Amino acid sequence: MIDQTIVHELFCQYYSEMICLARTLIYAEEEAEDTVQDVFVRLLEADILPAEDKARAYLMKAVRNGCINRIRKKSLTEQIQSLYSIEAETDLLFIEERLETLDAVCDFADTHLSEPHRTIFRLRFQEDLTLKDIAKRLDMNLKTVFKYLGQSIEEMQKHYRH
């Protein structure tokens, strides 16, 4: 059994950095916190601790992978909605407004994103390809695709927050 005090020390030492990464990747406060908590739960359940000199890298990679898995599990609509924080409303009166906003997001992508950001955004959100499939199709490194998509989403969030 893992000594919980060691896990608690890791939590105290790396939590703020981990939550910052999760928020950057997911953009939803609760989901970011859940992802980081899941990392520590899995760490306790695995009954194996990373090497002391590799703890930070291990935890950050675990957060990154957890965020990617959460994003992959979301439907296309949820992914696009998270770009501009639409709350789930059931009132039918807002459907037309939502459709207009989705059209605006697509128009923004077409007019404001440069290449290869625009192509990666389209492939991910319009064709619903995984990052791995996009990397393969564009003959790019997976990390590069991830970086470009993150930059595109960040640019859109800035635009829609103002």
Domains of the chain in start order, with CATH, are: 4-73 (1.10.1740), 76-161 (1.10.10.10)
Averaged pLDDT for residues 106-111: 84
Indicate whether 83 pLDDT > 60: no
Residue with tokens 């595109």: 152
Average pLDDT in the chain: 80
CA distance 52 to 139: 36
Confidence band of 91 (pLDDT split at 50, 70, 90):
very low
Q: What pLDDT does 128 receive?
A: 76
- CA-wise closest residue to 78 among 140, 26, 131, 148: 26
Indicate whether 125 pLDDT > 80: no
- Would you call the peptide bond into 50 cis, given omega within 30 degrees of 0 as the criterion? no
Q: For 55-80, what is each residue's pLDDT tens digit? A: 888 898 999 888 888 877 776 666 56
